[in-house]
Structure 1
Amino acid sequence: MSNNLKKNAISLPGAIAMSIAIMAPAAGMMFVPQVVAQYAGSSVPLVYFIALIGSLFVANTIVQFAKRITHAGSFFAYNSAGLGQTMGFLSGWLLMSGYFVFYPQNILVASFFSSQIITQHLGINIHWSLFSIFFIVIIWYLSTRGISSSMKADLYFVGAEMLIILIVVFAIVLQGGADGHTFEVMTAKGSPSGWSGIFFGMIFAMMTFMGFESAATVAEETSDPKKNIPRAIWGSVVGMGLFYIIVTYSMSIGFGSQNGDEFAKSILAMDYLASTYVGDWLRIAVAIAGIVSAFAISLALNNAAVRVIYTMGREKVFPSKLGITHKKYATPVHAINAVGILTTIIALLMGFIFGPYPVGYGMLGSFGTLPILLLYVLASISLIMFIRKNHRDEFSLWSHGIAPIIGALVMLLPIYGSIFPFPSWPYNLVLTLVLVYILVGFILGLVLKRKTQNLVQDVNKIISSDGSEKL
């Protein structure tokens, strides 16, 4: 056993796959746009456009850090360097919650639809919980053997699922949708509650962008990380952002610019559009793409969560055993085991209490979104402090001042929309639990302040060196 991850295990395509797999293009476009439409009507593409703009500013913040700090803890290290030990711990706490919650969330949706498809097409009734356990075991096996094989699997999954979605998109675009092409869906006219609906819809749209930053969690295992991690982050945000806008535009015109209510009521909108514009034969392929995408994002989320926990164990913020790697595979085996066990418990509890989909899926998604949005805001503030303190001669008014502020302000919009007005049951419970979780993290950060001092000292060493030293 050691406490070092395997160097150069991941190339640039693998780092890109890490981010894109967590963003889950197929699952995101199958399960989320119709939720956004409940608030934004047919103006869903506009919501995704604004979310893309905000994500680009946040990406700038992460890239500026990634150029200077190579660390598997990503935000844990970034915000420790810029805001101090307590906020560094809180950042790792928030990041962990998002990855931890989104992992079982996608296990639930993959399991639910696997069970449904097997029952509908083969007449075999296999309970969703058995699929959950099966998927978690496969992910545990792949991640234990090495992240390289995990990233290759994710890359293949992402390519296949995006191809299937694009078939539906091209069919809608070529046929002109229900009422022809229109720019109206890129304005607020389609939103039944105007701009307030647009901003509230961003809460859910940001769910599909979250994860682009996850390439930073494999920085210690990526070749030439200070170049390839920024490239992976920019490539993921721009590429997937354009993909989302194109897909949601086709979905909006597919239902019709005046039929946002029908869009919102469609539980499986992509499935319906595939049948309407291509044929029933494609519905099965779309359903399988959603399952594969949910599995791929679960695999990537597992890798990201494991590395955050491993880093916090290595820095002795969590039990030091979590910071030990496998002697043969150089993978954080104890962190992998911990994540697998906790994910199994969360997925089964939520699934049996609230049902795997849509309530269990939606509640876990809501719980994971707010902490990550807050994390983006903290990182934007941290960058300004970090550069002014450690790289004052490199300070750029745009890159290190204006851009982070804009990114923070855009991320505050969905946070505000999720609190005011206070949501009804069961999402008021989710919001309350999120607030309690954040408070607990802040208190723990104060209690463990001395234990994170080693991390801060290490960060100070790397930012004052020529960059050849790795954390």
Structure 2
Amino acid sequence: MTSTPQVRPDIPTAGAADNSNSGELKGAMTTFDIVFTVLAFNAPLAVFAGYLTVIIGYANGLGAPLTLLAAGLVVLVFAVGFTAMSRHLPNPGAFYAYITAGLGRPMGLGAAFLALICYVFLYVSSLIYAANSISSLVQQVFKGPLIDWWIYNVILIAVVGVLGFFRITLSARILTVAMCLEVVIIVLYNAVVFAQGGSEGYTSAPLQLHYILGGSVGLAVLYCIGMFSGFEATAIFREEARNPEKTIPRATYIVIAVVAVLYSVTSFAIIIGIGPSSVVDATATDPVGSVLSSIDHYLGKTALDITQVLLCTSIFAAVLAMHNIIARYLFSMGRDRVFPRKLAAVHPTHGSPHIASFATSVIAVVFLIAVLVIGADGNALYAKLAGIALYALIVLLLLTSVSIPLYFRKHADHGIGAWKTTVAPLLSGVGFAVALVLATKNAAFLVGGSQTAANLLIAVFIAALLLGIGYALVLRKQRPDTYARIGRQEVA
């Protein structure tokens, strides 16, 4: 008899009395459906153009390639315990479910609130980034009219909302096509640069220790871990995956490996392509422009125009992936009755969380209105929102690293070795703890240089965590049946 908590089939789900809601999400996502969905969340072409250059220009310069590999190793070690828990704890919800199982329902609900803030900030950041990129594309490549960026935002929210209404496999197919196209451009650029030897020839500088530890290594570690954001979302699609016991772990490892190798090799190519003597200054002065100029130099004007189009599709794919992830978080919390039960409604035909998807679109509209009311600059705001989300992500990774060994200690009959249940999670936890300290020290940079804004964001995260914990304690006293469901846990 296993001690693994299970979701009892007799637990009432939202709309149980309504035949339009089955209570179970439907889908048959393969390993690669999930891989491409999560990689789309990561937006490789947007990372190539806008973030790898930031690591080179503002962090540790020529040490970026190996720093990315080191960050990938920390995340890979974390995945050892994460995937072991995904097999043993068949509850969708990722951070929400796992932290609840290890650290208890109050901390789990606090983490869920924090995760929602993290993903919503990433979602809104990507929406604004996409709107600005599309605006630039229309004007510069297609010589179209100047249209306010927020109009593109409204169109994006509508299109993504419609796709979120249908079965997840439709979104997965769209994301797969977008991912393949953008990866082709990145690999083509890398191949041509390495074949030609770059502007100054080959260099071994990125392999030298003083470069790796030089510059702002703290920012480098922080951003490099952030480049793996979204890998944990593999577990969110558990209910819609084909053979999830095998599909989820495979997808997790593939995502981490692809991101580590692709970004490390690409950052090396950028260094060689622009030239080791000038790449730091060039990327610091104009992160996106320096890469686009390099693409123009090595691949030509036509490839540059195609890249600018694919940059927009890359960010759109990220927006779609984030929309789906947030919708499933809301679905899980609605099903637990922590949020209104309507959020757990499942479309009778498409098997999608259509009400949660609609709620996600509403959240995006509310944020957009708030941005317009305060008159914020969209070009500056998206980077700050992404930085805020990055900080929250590291907190969640640290909490999950601690929760994994605690969970397996509670359920001692798991039959899994100490490496997966204890050693690997704690080792990765040390790495994330170091990253969190570095993130706190560099929080002002993440939000555009304002220490006041940095202090405010840290306060917001602490408040979100405490709000979730406080809400859980209220539920324990006033609605014990709901409290028992937190994190998709067993109801006695």
Question: What TM-score do the two structures reach when normalised by structure 1?
Answer: 0.92
Paired residues of 2:78 and 2:428 also in contact (CA < 8 A): yes
Counterpart of 1:364 in 2: which secondary structure? Answer: helix
C-alpha contact (below 8 Å) 1:27/1:289 kept by paired residues: no
Distance, in Å, in 2 between the alignment partners of 1:431 and 1:111 is: 29
Q: What is the rounded CA distance, in whole Å, between the counterparts of 1:240 and 1:147 in structure 2?
A: 23
Match of 1:459 in 2: 489
**C-alpha deviations, 1:354-378, integer Å up to 9, x for none?**
3222x21111101111111111111
2:383 aligned residue (362, 373, 376): 362
Unaligned runs of 5+ in 2: 1-19
1:128 aligns with 2:149: yes
- Which residue of 2 is the match for residue 166 of structure 1? 187
Aligned to 1:82: 102
Counterpart Cα distance in 2 of 1:140 and 1:243: 30
Would the aligned equivalents of 1:77 and 1:455 in 2 still touch at CA under 8 Å?
A: no
Rounded to whole Å, the distance in 1 between the matches of 2:487 and 2:284 is 51
Residue 323 of structure 2 aligns to a residue in which SS? helix
Return the offset for 1:395: 4.5
Match of 2:177 among 156, 161, 174: 156
Match of 1:446 in 2: 470
| Aligned twin of 2:419 | 398
Indicate the larger mover: 447-456 or 154-163: 447-456
User: How big is each residue's C-alpha offset from its partner over 1:422-462, in whole Å with a ceiling of 9 and x where there is no partner?
Assistant: 62643641452243233233233233232553226953589
Going from structure 1 to structure 2, the CA distance change for 1:206 and 1:356 (only over 3 Å counts) comes to farther
1:179 to partner: Cα distance:
1.9
Judge conservation of contact 1:129–1:348 (CA < 8 Å) in 2. no
Structure 2: distance between partners of 1:175 and 1:395:
49
The partner residue of 2:444 within 414, 418, 423 is 423
Contact kept? 1:104, 1:344, Cα under 8 Å: no
Question: Is the alpha carbon distance of 1:380 and 1:217 closer, same or farther for their aligned partners in structure 2, counting shifts above 3 Å?
Answer: same
Determine which of 70, 78, 82 is the counterpart of 1:58: 78
Q: Aligned partner of 1:382: which letter?
A: S
Considering only aligned residues, what root-mean-square deviation do their CA atoms show, in Å? Answer: 2.2
Residue 131 of structure 2 aligns to a residue in which SS?
helix
Tell me which moved more, 342-351 or 257-266: 342-351
Partner of 1:245: 264
Counterpart amino acid of 2:106? T
Match of 2:238 in 1: 219
The equivalent position to 2:347 in structure 1, one of 326, 331, 335, is 326
Query: For residues 332-355 of structure 1, what are the alpha-carbon distances to aligned partners after superposition, in whole Å with 9 as ceiling and x for unaligned?
Result: 222111110111232454477332
1:147 aligns with 2:168: yes
Residue type of the alignment partner of 1:119: Q
In structure 2, relative to structure 1, the CA distance for the partners of 1:337 and 1:126 (3 Å cut) is: same
Structure 1 regions of 5+ residues with no counterpart?
463-471
State the AA in 1 paired with 2:332. T
Change (3 A) 1:171 1:52: same
Are the counterparts in 2 of residues 32 and 205 from structure 1 also a CA contact under 8 Å? Answer: no
Cross-structure match for 1:312: 333
1:210 to 229, 232, 235: 229
Distance across 2 between alignment mates of 1:165 and 1:459? 43
Change (3 A) 1:333 1:123: closer
CA contact (8 A) 2:96 2:487 kept: no
User: How many angstroms apart in 1 are the aligned matches of 2:352 and 2:487?
Assistant: 25
Tell me by how many angstroms 1:278 deviates. Answer: 2.1
Indicate which of 186, 199, 205 corresponds to 2:207.
186
Residues 1:41 and 2:41 aligned together:
no
Deviation at residue 221 of structure 1 after TM alignment: 1.0
Query: Which amino acid in structure 2 is aligned with residue 97 of structure 1?
Result: I
Q: How big is the shift at 1:63?
A: 0.6
Show the counterpart of 2:249: 230
8 A contact 2:43–2:318 mirrored in 1: yes
Q: How many residues are paired up? A: 459
Check conservation: 1:101, 1:365, Cα contact below 8 A: yes
The percentage of counterpart residues that share the same residue type is: 22
Tell me by how many angstroms 1:271 deviates. Answer: 0.7
The offset of 1:223, in angstroms, is 1.1
Question: Structure 2 residue aligned with 1:137, among 158, 177, 183?
Answer: 158
Q: Is the 8 A contact 2:218 2:438 kept in 1?
A: yes
Are the structure 2 counterparts of residues 105 and 183 from structure 1 closer, same or farther at C-alpha, using a change threshold of 3 Å? same
Which amino acid letter does the alignment assign opposite residue 83 of structure 2? Answer: V
